[in-house]
Every structure is written in structure tokens, then in C-alpha cells.
Amino acid sequence: MSRQIRFNAFDMNCVAHQSPGLWRHPEDQSHRYKELGYWTDLAKLLERGTFDGIFIADVLGIYDAYNGNGDAAIRHAAQVPVSDPILLASAIAGATEHLGIGITAGTGFEHPFPFARRLTTLDHLTNGRIGWNVVTGYLPSAAQNMGQLDQLQHDERYDHADEYLEVLYKLWEGSWEDDAVIRDRQSGVFTDPSKVHPIGHHGKYFDVPGIHVGEPSPQRSPVIYQAGASPRGLKFATENAEAIFVAAPTKAILKKLVRTIREGLVANGRDPYSAKVYTLLTIVTDETEAKAQAKLEEYHRYASIEGSLVFMSGWMGVDLGAYDPSDPVGDVQSNAIISAVSNFQQADPSGKEWTVEDIGKWGRIGGMGPVLVGSAERVADELQEWVEETDVDGFNLAYAITPGTFEDIVEFIVPELRRRGVYPSEYAPGTLRNKLFGRGDRLPADHPAQRHRYIRADDEAHAGAPA
């Protein structure tokens, strides 16, 4: 049987997310990101297309590497202005029944204690449809605005994130026993205090002695999303993540990456398919090949190369404005997204090194992922090839214009894939975790959070000890 393909929508609470300049396109609606109806209509559309989820990215700083200041980012609306993704989740949940809602929050954004409660609240309000994209950040401007001189060094950001997650797992998984809430009207006991446990966490970065203040939600821990692709990022992802988001310019690079991820999951004692891997991609399609090509050309007329270089400079941690467009990317060192740099260094199968101009053109639609263009038949063929050749589970679909790109996918691509029997026609029941894996609502037994699951009264003295 042919492999099944999964879709996820990649978005952000801002204008023209990863397609700089395309906010100028007459059909693009992304300037309406401030309206609730814009999000709820999009969510309903995605649910009609049986997308696994909407994944809402976030950054808490501006892309100011390019030319050494934020002017170009601000001019092009390159992810600034940007609103909070978390506040969209309840509204999207109210408008849909099945769609997963993946929100991004950085481990440097806020203390884990209030964050734990916020996600528990959302997991209740969405009936267990929350995913959390754990990001460690790559913009020095974000760290500076949070009172630090600069962000931590790349690998230390992940050490900090390890402890952030440890605190959260203890709160979400360990603090409340399943039968703690008894709501007994006769005795007047709502919650049995002997079944609610302080987590006693004392670590390098955080001290959290007390109990989780939220009642256990359907999934307890949200579905953990992650997108790190450096060696340290992959270690973190394969220890924790259930959905791993990658960006690879070619099938060859993706294949290697997916293999590394599956091996990493196994090395961490997990099933190699216990995380779904989604690769970033943008689809430009229409009724015919010719119309799809014409659409792409039209999008290119609105796209901004400078806006693309603003993003690429931020992701690579390098001022690409300081280079000549014909300069090769070379051996750039980065304290930002290390994988972004290495991918571009190996992108061309013929061995030709990419120049700054190549990178600018590559990123003008859909960020770091490739653009597939063509009729439904051609795009479906290509999607099947990507999945069969690389062992990836599905696609994280960015947009050129919104909701136009997603409308085209639901109108043309989804029916074609369903006709081929490789795409779902309906959702599995239950929580997001159960829809993805069909193995219940809670984290599986082979997940590291398991070791924080049972904090019993007599263990409390040891609750803060490393597990």
C-alpha cells in the first residue's frame, strides 16, 4: 500500500508569514491577522481539508541582523508587527472540532510555572487539541528585550530548555494523580490533597517547589512539537518531540535528516515512528499546469528579495546585506539556526556553492522550504515521491498568499490525494495525540516524561532529585 501523507498548515500571527512582499498581492488577506474571523475561517477551511493542525510560529524580537538594524524588517513587515499566537487557540477551538492547534512559545519567553497553567487551560478548552512548539530562540534582539545581554550560546539554550521541560513534565505529569479530583458533594471534598504533590524542583535555572495549580487536562502534556535540526537540537527533539518540523531544500538532505531523526528516537529508547516528521513546503497549484506556472510568476512579481534576505540573515545569524549578491555563502559560522547554514552549504547536488542572491531567491516564497508548482496530478506525484524516497510523514505547508494557497490545496490537492488513497478523508477520534498516533491521549510509556509521572507522597523528599 502507498504511504499515507499528512498535512499541517504553517502560519504566524502576522502579515505574509514567510513570503515577504506578498502582502501586496490583491488577494492576500494576511493584513487581517488582527481579526478573529480571519483565523476561525482559516481553521474551518483546514479542517475541511483534514489537516492535522495549524502550527502558529512566533518570535519575540525583530530580524535586525540584515544591515545591522531592524529598518528593513519593519518596512517589509517581516514578522513584525506580530501578535501572540497563544491567544488564538481558544477561538480556533470554538470554531472547529478536530483541527490540532500548535502554538509556539520560547523557553526564554517566560517562567515555566505560569506557562504550565496556560497550556493546561488551553488543553481543557480545546478538548485536548493543543500542541506546543518548543523553541529556544535565535534572535539576539528577543533575548535583549527579556533583559539579557545576548541569547545564551546555541547549545546552552538547549540545556536551559531541558530543564524548562523537566519542570513542565513534573507539573503536568506528576503533580496530580488521575483520581485526585473527586468532587464529592456529600463529604464536601473537591480534591483529595493526598493525591496532589509538590514537585520540589530545584535546578540550575529554576526553583519550583509547589504543586501544579491546574487540574490534569485531557492530554496532560500538550503534544510536543520541535524544530531543531543541529546535532544538539536533534538530540533535544528526539528525546522530547512527537512532531518534528524540518526544513530541507532537497530530497537528499531530507532523507538524511529523517534517518538521523529515526535513529535518534531509537537511541533515546523510543519507537522510530513515535514522532511525526513534517517537512516545510509551499504548494502553488491550479486547474492546469499553465495556470499554476502563471500563478507562480505572478507571486514572484510581488515577492521581496530584500525581505527574504532579512529572514535569511536572522535565521543564519549573519548580515547578508554586507555581502555582494554574487558572493558564495561560504563557511559561515552561526549562533542562530546552525542547520540553516549547513543546509545551504550542501544544497546543490552538483556541488555549486549557493550565493547570497540564490538564497534571497530561494526564500522569497515559503521561507527555507522548496516550492512545488503544477497541476494537482503533478504536485500529488511529487508529494508521493518526497514521502516514499525520504520516509518523511508529511508536509508543513507554508503559504504564498493566504487563505488563497490553502484554498487551492483543499480544492485541488486534497481531493487528488484522497482519490489515490494516500490522504485521510476523516479524522481519528479523540485528542490531538490520539489522532496522530492512535494510542491514547497521554504521552506513551517510552517517552522521557514518564519518569516524572508518579510523584507519590513518600517520594516527595526525592522529587527534586535528578531522575
Scanning 243-251, 266-274, 298-306, 448-456 for contacts with ligand FMN by CB under 6 A, the matching segment is: 243-251
Regarding 227 and contact with ligand FMN (CB under 6 A), the answer is yes
Q: Which amino acid is at 309?
A: L
Q: Which is nearer to ligand FMN, 57 or 410 (CB)?
A: 57
Residue 230 annotated as lining a ligand binding site: yes
Query: Exactly one of 80, 93, 135, 414 binds ligand FMN (CB under 6 A); which one?
Result: 135
Residue 323 annotated as lining a ligand binding site: no
Least Cβ distance, residue 398 to ligand FMN (angstroms): 8
Query: What are the residues facing 134 on neighbouring strands?
Result: 105, 226
Residue list 72-111, contact with ligand FMN (CB under 6 A): 104, 106
Residue 158 annotated as lining a ligand binding site: yes
Distance CA(437)–CA(254), nearest Å, equals: 22
Q: Which is nearer to ligand FMN, 9 or 309 (CB)?
A: 9
Residue 30 annotated as lining a ligand binding site: no
Regarding 317 and contact with ligand FMN (CB under 6 A), the answer is no
Residue 431 annotated as lining a ligand binding site: no
H or E element: which one contains 201?
strand 201-202
Q: Which is nearer to ligand FMN, 146 or 181 (CB)?
A: 146
Q: β-pairing, 189-191 with 181-184?
A: antiparallel
User: Contact 281/393 with Cβ under 8 angstroms?
Assistant: no
Scanning 54-62, 86-94, 145-153, 256-264 for contacts with ligand FMN by CB under 6 A, the matching segment is: 54-62
Residue list 351-410, contact with ligand FMN (CB under 6 A): 396
Distance CA(398)–CA(17), nearest Å, equals: 8
Q: Which is nearer to ligand FMN, 337 or 432 (CB)?
A: 337
Q: Which is nearer to ligand FMN, 196 or 338 (CB)?
A: 338
339 SS3 class: helix
Regarding 59 and contact with ligand FMN (CB under 6 A), the answer is yes
User: Contact 143/61 with Cβ under 8 angstroms?
Assistant: yes
- The 3-class SS string of 119-184 reads HHHHHHHCCCCEEEEEECCCCHHHHHHCCCCCCCCHHHHHHHHHHHHHHHHHHHHHCECCCCEEEE
Distance CA(313)–CA(320), nearest Å, equals: 6
Exposure b/e, 245-256, CB count within 10 A at least 16 = b? bbbbbebebbbe
Number of residues that bind ligand FMN (CB under 6 A): 23
Q: Which is nearer to ligand FMN, 50 or 104 (CB)?
A: 104
Q: Which is nearer to ligand FMN, 42 or 103 (CB)?
A: 103
* Alpha helices for 241-304 (secondary structure H): 251-267, 289-302
Using alpha carbons, list the distances in angstroms from residue 439 to 222, 275, 431.
15, 13, 10
Per-residue binder mask for ligand FMN (CB under 6 A), 255-294, x = binder: -------------------------x--------------
**Residues in the site for ligand FMN, rule: CB under 6 A?**
57-59, 104, 106, 133, 135-138, 227-230, 233, 245-247, 280, 337-339, 396
**Residue numbers belonging to the annotated binding site:** 58, 104, 154, 158, 230
